[in-house]
Structure 1
Amino acid sequence: MKHLLAVLFLCSATVVAHAQIMQEFGQFEIHYNALTTDELQPEVARTYKIERSKTRGILTMSVLKKNKTGVPSPVPAKLSVYATNLTRQLTNVTMREVKEGAAIYYLGEFRIVPPDTLTFRATVEVPGQLKQEITFDQKFFR
């Protein structure tokens, strides 16, 4: 089976509102994406024990480090993520690490009642190399 991260990004690539987002910090790239879990293929949801629903969301994140020639590869990271909706309700998004071969990515599930916009605040840490806070918004539609 393809790596879940690739599947999630491909699944959401057809929906402009859920395009993959990436930010660069020196030699590091932080990739992230959020979507409702009903957009996942049933097989993917079953494999990763994710409930498919219009009221559940999933956040995917990965951290890549570029080598001397500029080729990025995944690195393990410590992630702390919170989300706030339009009514200022705050929720912790617990991220779990998934390793598949050389791939390392993180998944976090959360509740969502579309239409809504969530503001995600993440602290990404690669011990001794990077500690970066990022903020991004994601709109969710019915």
Structure 2
Amino acid sequence: MRCVAPFLVLLIAGLSACSGSAPPPAAPAATAAQGESVSRVGDVSIRANAMQTSALSAPVAGQYGISRADNLVMLLVAVRQGPEAQEVALPARITASATDLRGRRQNIEMRELRSGDLLDYIGTAEVTAPDTLRFDVTIVRENGATSTMQFSRDFYPR
């Protein structure tokens, strides 16, 4: 069975828990459909995704220690090493910012989120939907290797 990145499992669980057994509303589905951004350097993969925190279930938001709000976006970054089915979490220093269509830039304070052997990084940014945020992420692993990612996500009123 293919090993799915744990943060994706929580992301999917959060989206489904918010909508019960009915399909999620159109706007969150469009955001989720944009998928994660993935960067691979050798055997290291970096996965990032962003979503409105109002799309998270209350238990998931509580586990992450963040508020659920339409104007709050969660950036989630995971750094893993190894083959896809056997990846292990790598510690890293993550810095990130989000820039909206008007050019307003926000620094995103990233923090560690540990769950057993898993380690992810989360932070939040504000958004006034509808808008597009461009995320700039810099990842510095313990060995000093540096990677950067840039991706955009669209956000809609909920």
Q: TM-score range by the shorter chain?
A: 0.7 to 0.9
Give the corresponding residue for 2:131: 116
More helix by share: 2
User: How far apart, CA to CA, are the structure 1 residues paired with 2:58 and 2:101?
Assistant: 29
User: How far apart, CA to CA, are the structure 2 residues paired with 1:47 and 1:63?
Assistant: 20
**Contact map agreement 1:30 1:61 (CA 8 A) in 2:** yes
Structure 2, gaps ≥5 residues long: 1-5, 17-23
Paired residue for 2:31, among 6, 10, 17? 17
Give the corresponding residue for 1:28: 44
More strand by share: 1
User: How far apart, CA to CA, are the structure 1 residues paired with 2:44 and 2:60?
Assistant: 28
> For 1:1-142, what aligned pairs fall within 5 Å after superposition?
6-12=9-15, 15-18=29-32, 19-66=35-82, 71-128=86-143, 130-142=145-157
RMSD: 2.1
C-alpha distance after superposition, 1:72-106 (max 9, x if no partner): 21111100101100000010000010111110001
Letter in 1 for 2:31: A
Question: Matched residues, percent identical?
Answer: 25
- Shift of the alpha carbon at 1:110? 1.1
Seen in structure 2, the aligned counterparts of structure 1 residues 119 and 24 have a Cα distance that, compared at 3 Å, is same
**Contact map agreement 2:14 2:60 (CA 8 A) in 1:** no
How many residues end up aligned between the 2 structures?
139
- What is the TM-score normalised by the length of structure 1? 0.87
Structure 1, gaps ≥5 residues long: none
- Shift of the alpha carbon at 1:21? 2.6
Seen in structure 2, the aligned counterparts of structure 1 residues 70 and 37 have a Cα distance that, compared at 3 Å, is closer
C-alpha distance after superposition, 1:26-48 (max 9, x if no partner): 11100111000100001111233
4+ residue segments displaced more than 6 Å: none
Seen in structure 2, the aligned counterparts of structure 1 residues 4 and 130 have a Cα distance that, compared at 3 Å, is same
